[in-house]
A = this chain, B = another copy of it.
Amino acid sequence: MRREFETACEIVQAADDVGGLQRATESLRDGLGISHVVYHWVNSRGERFGAGTYSQSWVDHYLERDYLRMDPVIIGCLQRFDPVDWKELDWSSRAARTMLQEAVEFGVGPQGYSIPIRGPAGQFALFTTADGCDDTAWSRFIAENQRDLILTAHEFNRKALAFERDFDMPTPTLSPRELAAMTHIAKGLNRAQAAAEMDISEHTLRVYIEAARHKLGALNTTHAVARALSRGLIVV
């Protein structure tokens, strides 16, 4: 691992708040001589936060335009799990192209490389490096640093999860029947069908669903399914 990555990882490991992650991104940016290093994180409650070198004005602009909802980097990374060069993403919509152009005006991109990672409870993180260099220089940069970037992303994730664990509610345990019931419901069966599938009465199935709902602290069945999926309790 190159020295600048080692340094950044050490800062991450020593961090005891988001500010520590922030310093790590700055250290890595300076060490690598690129324009941006950003770690963006959605915790299990859907709260977003970020640590990185983007200017406040770009972040404000980005949020103001609600780019979170259409940013091809976000959209694309939510649908894959291997690192992606921004050039591979779908920039076909006009809104996306507009956004990229504005980003460049704010000193972000056009080159970028983002590493997505998902956590067990719906957490989602993106570790991004970006620069304004040309394609060949960027390709070389990625080829040389890809592995170190992945490992550094892991260090960020480890720390971010540690922060969260501190004030996280434990994931409840669902019984096998509750899991089976939730799985059937998540697959789109209604209560009667799910009950038939499990060969139990519809009422019994309801008991499972309600038990799961209460354990998950969910407001209704759909919410319970969403939570169970997000926490990796069931798989559709």
CB-CB under 8 A from A81, the residues of chain B are 117-120, 123, 157, 161
Is A137 close to B, CB under 8 A? no
Which residues in A have some Cβ–Cβ distance to B below 8 Å? 1, 42, 46, 66, 69-70, 78-82, 116-124, 147, 150-151, 154, 157-158, 161, 171, 176, 179-180, 185-190, 218-223, 225-227, 229-233, 235-236
CB-CB under 8 A from A79, the residues of chain B are 120-121, 171, 231-233
A79-B232, A176-B69, A236-B46 are known contacts. Are A222 and B120 too (CB-CB below 8 A)?
A: no
B118:A222 contact, CB within 8 angstroms: no
CB-CB under 8 A from A157, the residues of chain B are 81-82
Tell me which of B66, B171, B188, B226 contacts A236 (CB under 8 A). B226
**Residue of B whose beta carbon sits closest to that of A227:** B236
CB-CB under 8 A from A232, the residues of chain B are 78-79, 118, 124
CB-CB under 8 A from A151, the residues of chain B are 147, 150-151
Question: Number of copies of this chain in the oligomer?
Answer: 2
Tell me which of B82, B150, B161, B186 contacts A223 (CB under 8 A). B186
Shortest Cβ gap from A45 to chain B (Å): 9
CB-CB under 8 A from A69, the residues of chain B are 176, 179-180
**Residue of B whose beta carbon sits closest to that of A220:** B188
CB-CB under 8 A from A119, the residues of chain B are 80-81, 118
Q: How far is the CA of A223 from the CA of B189 in the complex (A)?
A: 8
A80:B226 contact, CB within 8 angstroms: no
Shortest Cβ gap from A85 to chain B (Å): 14
Q: How far is the CA of A78 from the CA of B79 in the complex (A)?
A: 19
* List of 4 A-B pairs having minimum Cβ-Cβ separation, nearest first: A188-B223, A188-B219, A78-B232, A118-B118
B222:A225 contact, CB within 8 angstroms: yes
CB-CB under 8 A from A154, the residues of chain B are 82, 150
**Residue of B whose beta carbon sits closest to that of A222:** B222
Q: How far is the CA of A192 from the CA of B231 in the complex (A)?
A: 27
Q: How far is the CA of A81 from the CA of B225 in the complex (A)?
A: 21
B186:A235 contact, CB within 8 angstroms: no
Q: How far is the CA of A119 from the CA of B66 in the complex (A)?
A: 25
A218:B188 contact, CB within 8 angstroms: yes
Given A81-B118, A225-B225, 7 further pairs, Cβ under 8 A: A70-B176, A80-B161, A81-B119, A117-B117, A118-B120, A118-B232, A222-B222
